[in-house]
Amino acid sequence: MASRSAHFEALVREQPSNALFRFSLAQALVAEGREAESIEHFQICIAGRADWMMPRILLGKVLLQLGRSHAAKALFADALVLAVAQNHEDPEKELRALLADL
C-alpha cells in the first residue's frame, strides 16, 4: 500500500502549480515524520497566496521543531495578522501562545 505522501507526490507531479495538492503533500510528509521535506511545499503555498494562514502556522511549527525559532516566529507573526483579520479566534489564541513562548 502506497503512503499518503506518495499519493500526493504523484498529484503534484501531474499538477505542480496546484497549491492544494502541495499543501496536502506537506501535511502528509509531516505526518510521516519527514518535516524537512515539507518545507518547500509549505513555502510554495505561502508564496502563492498572501491570505492563506494555515501553511504559515504549519511551516512555523515545522521550523520550530527543526530549531529555527527565529524563522518560525516570523511566520507565526504573519499568521497572527491573518488570523485576526479573518476572525479565526482559535488560531489567534494558539498563535499568541506560541509567540509568547518564543
- Following DSSP, what letter does each residue of 9-31 receive, concatenated? HHHHHH-TT-HHHHHHHHHHHHH
Q: What is the DSSP letter of 100?
A: H
* CB 54, CB 23: distance < 8 Å: yes
82: helix, coil or strand? helix
Tell me the pLDDT tens digit for each residue of 86-99.
999 999 999 999 99
Tell me the pLDDT tens digit for each residue of 44-78.
999 999 999 999 999 999 999 999 999 999 999 99
Question: What is the CATH code for 4-101?
Answer: 1.25.40.10
